[in-house]
Every structure is written in structure tokens, then in C-alpha cells.
Amino acid sequence: MAINKESNGFTFGFAITLVVVVGAVLALLAMGLKPMREQNAKVKKQLDILSAMLDLEKEGINRQNAASEFEKYINLDEAVVLDMNGNVKEGVNAFDVDIQTEYKDKKLKDTDKNYPLFVAKQDGKTLYIIPIVGKGLWGPIWGNVCLDEDMATIKGASFGHKGETPGLGAEIQQKFFIDRWIGEKISDENGDFLKFEIVKDGSGKDPQKVDGITGGTITSKGVEEMANRCLSVYAAYFKTLKTKE
Amino acid sequence: MSESLFSKKNRKLITDPLTDNNPVTVQVLGICSALAITVQVNQAIVMGLSVIFVTMMGNVVISMLRNLIPSRIRIIVQLVVVAALVIVVDQVLAAFLPDLSAKLSVFVGLIITNCIIMGRLEAFAMANKPWPSLLDGFGNGLGYAGLLVLVAVFRELFGSGTLLGFTIFGNSLPGEESGLYAMGYTNNNMMILPPMALIIVGVIIWVQRLRNKELQEDH
């Protein structure tokens, strides 16, 4: 039986068979590797949170010991989840909240968004780590901000991005940019939120002002928007904590 | 007539792309990725291994199907096979080498568009048996990988003062310099930038053609 392999029927049949076989193989592979990818994502999140308070390289923290180091500094039982007005939400696990997905989700109402807060202990001091998320020039940007025990002064931070321009917007991850945020305050003595401003004129030394990155204006502005929108929620929460005391 | 697995002809399939028929320096294919992922040697190695895997497997699969593939849709069939293999590589990297996978990011996906792979499928695998195709794929992948690593060695050594992440010239951290840095040596930041990869590839092409006059074009 000779098959005419140039016939339309054979061409269609070949194409359909090929796509079904390839599709099945890839689907199986993706399912098989899913647990490992999820585990990797979890470890990455732990590292991101820790990187706000520690220099991971100096402390020798990597993927292998991330889980134990994370437990050493951060007690997830103390972590809370806030709503957009800074009130504590019950029944939500802070670590499981994916703020990046929630931020992208257009259907999710602002009032339903979760704002996780992690509480860390280092050298007897209580530190607060706030994950933040926003939009850069080309895609999402995110970060973690670590507040000192006064619940106002920024002690450390880490920023990340999906695809900002290397050498320009992508520089937000660099130490020199993060250092510009350290020491800034998110609230005044009364606990009221203080806005940040990214500036171009080199006046970043002034309180509440941070020098932007040359050539990375839109990404820098994205960091400003992200910090102001997210941190104001936490400032409100810290104010209620302080007034209770 | 049966041919031994590593006959002279078959050996040439591997050695040719390494030297006088190198896909990057002689055929000048796959230049784009040579610019992008040669800042660090380990990235170049992983990228090279990925491309070797894709060219080998792609060549074998297409060669096995070569008598079945309807010629009207052969390019699409080749693309589907290459794309599937690249997704396999991408998924495996994401599962086992997450940090490297994040650094290589879109470039693994862009292996699909690497002209070397499509070129070998169309020029060799469509007309040859699986075993020679496998060797041809391996040779061309290796030729690409080798050049990538060579460029990356220059760029990482002179751009960051490290090789595979190990410091070679001493500590460059400001305030705690040691080794060459203590004597006033500084890293060449130009090496980190993509144009430098082009210049290095250009120099390699120049040296190669200087040594082998046959490769020089007359015009």
C-alpha cells in the first residue's frame, strides 16, 4: 500500500498527529516537574524576604539552607495579613499570599487585596519586612522593605524586576540604589504616613527624597509609586499598634 | 555497504564545525545569542549544552521522520520539533537550575530562532540517516558552544576578573582590594557590554581567516 505523502489528507493527518504527540509529551513533562518548580518558587520567596534584612552573600545564605535560615529569623506565626486600610485580616496565611498575582489581577477589588507583613528577629531586635509590588517600564517590579523596630525607619530593602533595561532601570536591584532608601522614614512621630519622592536634582539627601537612576526614570518612578501605595497601608497599621500601646 | 560508526567521513561531521566550518565564525550564524549570554562562563556553558541537546535531538527526530514529512509543511514540522525540544530544556532548567534559568531568561526560549538549528535540520537532517545527523548536530552544537565559552572566558576574565565565579585577579571590592587590584588594576567595564562580544567574535574570525587562507573571501 503506497501512501501519497504529498496528498492533502496525509499532510493534515501528519500535522495533527505531530501536534498531539508533542503536546502530550510537553504536558506530561510540565506536570512531572511542577512540584520542583513550586519548591523553587517558595525558596526564592524566602530568599527575597531575607534579602531585605541581610546581605545574603555575606551570611552565606543560599538555596540549600534557605529554609532553615528563614525559620531562624522569621516566625511565620507572628506574620499578619492586612487589608488596604491597614486592618488585620484573619484566616489568611501571610506566606501564601502572592501579591504579584493579586496586583496583576484586574478583577480583584482593591478592598480584597492582601497585604502581608513578616516579623523578624535579629540580635534581639524586632524587624518588620514588607513585600511590595508595582509596575516598571517593561513589566512588574517588586521588592521587600525592612523596617527597624521603631516601625518607621527603613533598615534595608531589596528590589527585583522582570525585564527592566539592563544598565538603566535594572539598576534598581543594585546596592547603590537600595542604600539611598536606607534611613528614610515611612511615618512621622504621630505615625502618619510620609510620602516618598524620587528626585532628579540630586536632593536625595533630604528626608523623604530619593535620587532616581539616570536613564531609568520610569522604573524609578515605578519604585516611588510602589513604595507609596504599599507602605501607606502598613503605616496605618503601625499607627493603630502604637496608639494601642 | 555498512559503514563503521566512526568512519573518517563521520568523524569529519564532528570536527569540521569545530574548525573550518564553524557555524558562528565561518557561517556567521547564531551571532545574536553569542552577544547576549557570554558575560559569564557558566551561563555560556549551560547555553552551549542546551543548544547541543537541541541540535542533536532535533537532527535525529527530523532525520527519522525525513521520509514521512510532507515537503509542503516541512519547515513548520521542523519548527514544532525544535520548539518542543526548547521547551523541554527550559522546563528542566527551571526545575533543576532555577537561578541560572532566571539569568538566561528569554534566551533559552530564543534557541528556537537560532539559525544554526534550523540550518542543520534543513541542510543535513532532511537528507541523511539518524546516526550521521546525530553527529552533525553534536558537531555544530559543540562548535557553537565552544565559541560561546571562548568569548565568555575573555569577557568574564577581563570584565569581572573572575572565571566560573572564582576570583582570578584578587578581590576588587572597594576598600579591601587585593592581588592585581591592589596594584591599581581595574576591570574593563566595556567587556560587560554586548558590543564587546561582537568585537571579540570579530577578532576570532580575523585570526581564524589569517591562519587559514582558504576561508578568506575574494571579494
Q: Give me the pLDDT at residue B173, please.
A: 67
Q: Cβ contacts (< 8 Å) between B95 and chain A: which residues?
A: 33, 36-37, 40
Q: Is B95's CB within 8 Å of A6's CB?
A: no
Lowest mean pLDDT segment, chosen from A14-18, A230-234, B8-12: B8-12
- Interior angle at CA B85, CA B80 and CA B90, nearest 5: 125
pLDDT(B62) > 90: yes
Choose from B35, B62, B65, B68 for mutation: most chain A CBs within 10 A: B68
pLDDT(B20) > 50: yes
Region of B169 on the Ramachandran plot (φ > 0 left; ψ -120 to 50 alpha; else beta): alpha
Question: How is residue A163 annotated by DSSP?
Answer: S
pLDDT over 90, % of chain A: 28
Q: Is A30's CB within 8 Å of B91's CB?
A: yes
Confidence of residue B1 (pLDDT cuts 50, 70, 90): very low
Q: Give me the pLDDT at residue A245, please.
A: 65
Q: Give me the pLDDT at residue A91, please.
A: 81
Size of interface A-B (CB pairs under 8 A): 50
Choose from A4, A17, A33 for mutation: most chain B CBs within 10 A: A33
- Whether A3 maps to a domain, the answer reads no
Q: Give me the pLDDT at residue A24, please.
A: 95
Cα of A25 to nearest chain B Cα, Å: 9
- Whether B188 maps to a domain, the answer reads yes
Q: Is B69's CB within 8 Å of A14's CB?
A: yes
Comparing A34 with B32, which gets the higher pLDDT?
Answer: A34
Question: Which among A11, A37, A163 has CB closest to B72?
Answer: A11
Its ipTM equals: 0.72
Q: Give me the pLDDT at residue B60, please.
A: 94
Q: Give me the pLDDT at residue A32, please.
A: 93
- For helices A66-73 and A8-53, give the axis angle rounded to 10 degrees: 40
Question: Which among A6, A18, A33 has CB closest to B80?
Answer: A18
Residue-range definition of the domain harbouring residue B41: 24-215
Q: Give me the pLDDT at residue B3, please.
A: 63
Q: Give me the pLDDT at residue A26, please.
A: 93
Q: Give me the pLDDT at residue A135, please.
A: 92
Q: Is B77's CB within 8 Å of A44's CB?
A: no
Choose from A37, A46, A57, A175 for mutation: most chain B CBs within 10 A: A37
Question: Which among B77, B87, B193 has CB closest to A26?
Answer: B87
Task: Record the pTM.
Answer: 0.75
- Whether B19 maps to a domain, the answer reads no
Rounded alpha-carbon distances, angstroms, from residue A78 to A83, A93, A114: 17, 11, 16
Comparing B142 with B115, which gets the higher pLDDT?
Answer: B142
Query: Scanning every residue of chain A, which has its alpha carbon at the shortest distance from the alpha carbon of B189?
Result: A167
3-class state of residue B66 by DSSP: coil
Q: Are A158 and A227 in contact (CB under 8 A)?
A: no
3-class state of residue B78 by DSSP: helix
Comparing A235 with B164, which gets the higher pLDDT?
Answer: A235
Q: Is B77's CB within 8 Å of A15's CB?
A: yes
Cα of A41 to nearest chain B Cα, Å: 9
Report helix, strand and coil shares of chain A as percent, to nearest 5.
Answer: 45, 20, 35
Question: Which among A11, A37, A167 has CB closest to B70?
Answer: A11
Query: Scanning every residue of chain B, which has its alpha carbon at the shortest distance from the alpha carbon of A20?
Result: B80
Query: Scanning every residue of chain B, which has its alpha carbon at the shortest distance from the alpha carbon of A39?
Result: B95
Rounded to the nearest 5°, which phi and psi values hold at A159? -125, 150
Q: Give me the pLDDT at residue A142, please.
A: 92
Query: Scanning every residue of chain A, which has its alpha carbon at the shortest distance from the alpha carbon of B66?
Result: A5
pLDDT(B165) > 80: no
Residue-range definition of the domain harbouring residue A102: 76-244
Q: Which of A124, A168, A142 is nearest to A45 (CA)?
A: A142
Q: Cβ contacts (< 8 Å) between B92 and chain A: which residues?
A: 33
Question: Which among A10, A19, A40 has CB closest to B70?
Answer: A10
Separation of alpha carbons B146 and B117, rounded Å: 16
Confidence of residue A68 (pLDDT cuts 50, 70, 90): confident
- Whether A99 maps to a domain, the answer reads yes
Query: Scanning every residue of chain B, which has its alpha carbon at the shortest distance from the alpha carbon of A35?
Result: B95
What is the overall mean pLDDT for chain B?
84
- Whether B203 maps to a domain, the answer reads yes
Q: Which of B62, B64, B102, B66 is nearest to B84 (CA)?
A: B62
Q: Give me the pLDDT at residue A132, please.
A: 93
Task: Give the residue numbers in B contacting A (CB under 8 Å), as ranges.
Answer: 68-73, 76-77, 80-81, 84, 87-88, 91-92, 94-96, 98-99, 105, 193
Confidence of residue B138 (pLDDT cuts 50, 70, 90): very high
Q: What is the total count of domains within chain B? A: 1
Comparing A130 with B219, which gets the higher pLDDT?
Answer: A130
Quick one: average pLDDT of A95-117?
86
Q: Give me the pLDDT at residue A28, please.
A: 94
Q: Is the dihedral of CA B163, A157, B36, B120 positive or negative?
A: positive
Of B49-58, B175-184, B188-197, which has the strongest mean pLDDT?
Answer: B49-58
Q: What is the total count of domains within chain A? A: 1
Quick one: average pLDDT of B93-109?
81
pLDDT(B148) > 80: yes
Comparing A128 with A55, which gets the higher pLDDT?
Answer: A128
